[in-house]
Structure 1
Amino acid sequence: MGREDFQRRLAEAVRELHDQVDPPHTLQRMVEITPEFFDSCDFVGVSLIEPDRIRTPAATNELLRQLDDSQFELEQGPCYEAIRNDPVVIIGDLATDSRWPIWGRAMVLELGVRASLSFRLFTRHDRSWGALNLYSRTPHAFSEVDVQHGQVVAAMCAVALAKAINDHQLATALESRTVIGQAMGMLMERYGLDEHAAFAAMRRISSQDNRKLRDLAAQIVSDRDTPIAPAPDPA
């Protein structure tokens, strides 16, 4: 892809990713858009760092998603390496590369993948979101220009993903605060409680039932009832 074509497509991709409504749609569009920047990219996967694991929620197909996920169980593979150590990892031929033999052999045998290119997704050097992984059935498919283009594409994807996740978390927090406020209002009216006592009652019920406070609040608002009558607030 020439420089002008790359710049034009990059501008279009920025707008397309910005228009996605939530993180899952953003991830799926990243998977669809990425191959358009490379001459020989057959598969794409996006792996995310979660609080207790790393997983691949979006990929070209289910088998690739499973094989990408297996890197984190085996603790070997270019995506795992990109997240943990080197922000850019290139493999010319998985059939001969000896760094990750178990995972590499599976990729060759099950998907016919021979070359790969992985980029860490980060918006700050101390804040990584995961990795963008490109795969090709052609040995030595990715050139130095592909590496340069890929770094730009990965930066674009990281910013779009961070925005989608932050927007989603903010919307979820606002939604949770709204529904909790509605449930508290119902308790205050029904039982003659003040705001502090209503919230304390909800926290007690939430703890007793081992349920999230937001889920309890949503049930109160939906059913217009409380699972357990709130205990009186101690004097």
Structure 2
Amino acid sequence: METGPLSRHIADAARELQDETDAQATLDKAVGLAVRLVGAAEDAAISLVHRGGRIDTPAATSDVARRVDKLQYELDQGPCLDAIRKEELVLAPDLATDTRWSQWGSRVASETGIRSMMCLRLFTYAHTVGALNLYARSRNAFGRDDIEQGQALAAHAAVAVVGAQRIDQLSVALDTRTVIAQAQGILMERYRFTADQAFNVLVRVSSQANAKLRDVAIELVETRRTPGHKPPEPP
């Protein structure tokens, strides 16, 4: 069966997203693809949900998009927040007159020139990742084709972002284990500690210095000195 232009474009976009293994690179790629594929979109950004509920914009195609999002977070109102919290798709045909976010919308229209938005939730079955936010300077900019393109891209972007985040987390965990092992080795060689004794020393120094274990290990590996510069006592 022959596929149409939209299917081919989305398939190409999915492959481009999957080629990125770094979370930030995946986010940057996603907003670039959004402007390229969604005809009415002049700018794009991604709102990302972090642990504890904090939301920020780690990727955007312009400072204007970042400004629009920042105002949403400051005022705690706007379509991207509604897409994350309430509805999978939120359309804002005219921000200057929309009563759903009257304080935010009027400021955005007057301060940035953005008049309409489309926000799509980024989610998998297990996680709400954030929202893909699309911006235009004309009213009623986003039509049926834009919605279909945006929804298809958002689905692929959510899966790609979650996958890249997991790779980043595994990479950080591996790096942490490696640097802690290096720090243990230094203490074992210098003070004739066992591996367990060396690890317990690192934990004790971490607690006394109110610092993360990884940071204590990095300092020891880089400077060859333990915090406080005193030979540690074995536990």
Both proteins in one fold, TM over 0.5: yes
> Residues of 2 paired with 1:189 and 1:139: CA distance?
69
AA aligned to 2:112 is L
> Residues of 2 paired with 1:107 and 1:122: CA distance?
26
Aligned to 1:8: 8
**Any conservation in 1 of the 2:46–2:131 contact (CA below 8 Å)?**
yes
Aligned to 2:100: 99
TM-score normalised by the chain length of structure 2 = 0.92
CA-based RMSD of the aligned residues comes to 1.5
> Residues of 1 paired with 2:210 and 2:148: CA distance?
49
For the pair 1:196 / 2:210, whether they are aligned, the reply is no
Shift of 1:49: 0.7
AA aligned to 2:118 is L
Aligned to 1:158: 158
Aligned to 2:231: 229
> Residues of 2 paired with 1:166 and 1:113: CA distance?
34
Aligned to 1:84: 85
Shift of 1:224: 2.3
Shift of 1:230: 2.0
**Any conservation in 2 of the 1:40–1:138 contact (CA below 8 Å)?**
no
Shift of 1:215: 1.5
Shift of 1:223: 1.9
Aligned to 1:184: 184
Equivalent position SS for 1:99: helix
Aligned to 2:64: 63
**Any conservation in 1 of the 2:118–2:135 contact (CA below 8 Å)?**
yes
**Any conservation in 2 of the 1:202–1:230 contact (CA below 8 Å)?**
no
Shift of 1:19: 2.3
> Residues of 2 paired with 1:136 and 1:166: CA distance?
33
> Residues of 1 paired with 2:86 and 2:207: CA distance?
40
Taking every aligned residue pair, what percent have the same amino acid on both sides?
Answer: 44
TM-score normalised by the chain length of structure 1 = 0.92
